[in-house]
Amino acid sequence: MYTIIRFRLVWLLLATLALFLSSRDAVAGPKAYVGNFKDNTVSVIDTVAGKVVSTIPVGMGPHGMGITPDGRWLYVSNDGASTLSLIDTTTDSVTRTIEVGKSPHGVALIPKSRLLLVCVNGDDRVAFVDTSTQAVVATVAVAKPHTVSVRSDGKEAYVASQEPGHFAVVVVDLAKRAVIRTIALDKPPRDLEFGYGSKALYFTKAGVNAVEVLDPASDKIIAEIPTGVSPHYVNLFRGTTLGMTVVQGPGELLLFDPVTNAPVRSIQVGKQPHWLAVLGDGKTAYVTNEGSNDVSVADIASGKTKTIAVGNAPRKVVVQPATGDPKVSIANFAFVPQVVTIAPGDSVTWNNDDGAPHTITFKDGSSGSDTLYPGKTYSRTFDQPGSYEYFCSIHNYMTGSVIVRSR
């Protein structure tokens, strides 16, 4: 009798383990998250299998979405409520609801910070949410804020203000937590995004069939990129050479040259495209189609697309980052890997996994580390293309290099 019971218990444990492993391995790659505005849900897409694997209930009218750099936490603003829904992407469930104020719209994480910005449209302010405590710690008054984008250095945020009769891009100093200047516009700004590296701010305006290109050094519009009717989201993503905007009238993803600010070609997607996100390899775009209740998955090089049905009125979409910043291990008196290749604006982190102290000393005399004792780390951001050779000043036979490739 006891043998039979033990056998059944072992069988049950093995079956449970197999079910756990199969569910854990069901999603092999990064996931895409789609906010379904009319369903009050978020669809979870397995980007490898190309299908919806889960649906998460959130607050009323999911609007803005922001995912942490490690891909672990997803913040969703609920336009029909006064809250953010915090989703744990390991379980794909809401773990907390955060009160921020009436009708929150766009959100943006501040790079290398614990802070999240939320456009609280109904209360005419931008809220600062501490992602370690999940509480509002400061606010800045901005009339009818809609979307927000942060420069890569984390010093300034640009906010699309849709106050009737006073349309503008409002610039906020993030250290001072104050508005420092306002760029007046003739029509309501829709989306605005800093292209990768923050060399330009791209934005669209209601009723204007073009993308505006703003130079953040002068706050002047330096170019207009012609589009079809009603362009909406626009961005230049990391790992891509062409900028992208969704154009709602013709239902297309328009690609443009960020150097010449000229259209290059377009990819047909679904009805009334609203937003897009790009996988970390820069090869695949996910476009939400609010009018056809689906997502177009576009191969950027070939223009071929696939369609994934989601919920009603999909608006925002984000994808999990593929990897974090490159890391170099200091082990056995060597830098591993010895050569790291990155893009301008990327950071490299060195971990001292050795039993002795070391340094990161650059041959060109530029900023390096102090003495790194075992277990300590050092990070540096590289903004300019070039080859940066370095060594350990304590053990000068230890050498390495960082190659920053041109975009």
Q: How many helices (H) and strands (E) does the chain have?
A: 1, 36
Q: State the total domains in the chain.
A: 2
- Of 274, 288, 273, the C-alpha closest to 319 is 288
Determine, yes or no, domain membership for 8: no
List the CATH number of the domain containing 363: 2.60.40.420
Confidence at residue 20, expressed as pLDDT on a 0 to 100 scale: 39
* pLDDT above 50 for 7: no
Average per-residue pLDDT for the chain: 91
Determine, yes or no, domain membership for 203: yes
* pLDDT above 60 for 1: no
Determine, yes or no, domain membership for 307: yes
Which whole number is the average pLDDT over 129-153? 96
Report the C-alpha gap between 16 and 48 in whole angstroms.
25
229 phi, psi to nearest 5 deg: -70, 130
165, 157 Cβ separation under 8 angstroms: no
Other beta carbons within 10 angstroms of residue 55's beta carbon come to 15
Does 158 share its domain with 288?
yes
Confidence at residue 282, expressed as pLDDT on a 0 to 100 scale: 84
Confidence at residue 325, expressed as pLDDT on a 0 to 100 scale: 67
Does 48 share its domain with 170?
yes
Determine, yes or no, domain membership for 383: yes
Determine, yes or no, domain membership for 3: no
Report the C-alpha gap between 344 and 232 in whole angstroms.
27
* pLDDT above 60 for 23: no
4 phi, psi to nearest 5 deg: -65, -40
Structure tokens, 80: 């029909």
Confidence at residue 17, expressed as pLDDT on a 0 to 100 scale: 41
Cis? peptide before 57, omega within 30° of 0: no
* Domain span holding position 215: 31-319
Last residue of a domain, which of 269, 302, 319?
Answer: 319
Does 229 share its domain with 351?
no
What is the SS3 assignment for 93?
Answer: strand
Determine, yes or no, domain membership for 242: yes
Does 232 share its domain with 376?
no
Does 189 share its domain with 298?
yes
Residue 19: which pLDDT band, with cuts at 50, 70 and 90?
Answer: very low
Confidence at residue 158, expressed as pLDDT on a 0 to 100 scale: 98
Determine, yes or no, domain membership for 97: yes
Does 291 share its domain with 372?
no
The pTM of the full predicted model, rounded to 2 decimals, is: 0.76
List the CATH number of the domain containing 97: 2.130.10.10
Structure tokens, 271: 């009805």
Determine, yes or no, domain membership for 26: no
Does 246 share its domain with 388?
no
pLDDT digits (tens, 9 = 90+) for 247-290: 999 999 999 999 999 999 999 999 999 999 999 878 899 999 99
pLDDT digits (tens, 9 = 90+) for 197-232: 889 999 999 999 999 999 999 999 999 999 999 999
Give me the torsion for CA of 359, 113, 96, 92, rounded to 10°: -60
Lowest mean pLDDT among 1-5, 106-110, 226-230, 332-336: 1-5
Does 310 share its domain with 336?
no
Residue 14: which pLDDT band, with cuts at 50, 70 and 90?
Answer: very low
The secondary structure element, H or E, covering residue 24 is helix 2-24
Does 385 share its domain with 239?
no
Amino acid letter, 149: S
388, 377 Cβ separation under 8 angstroms: no
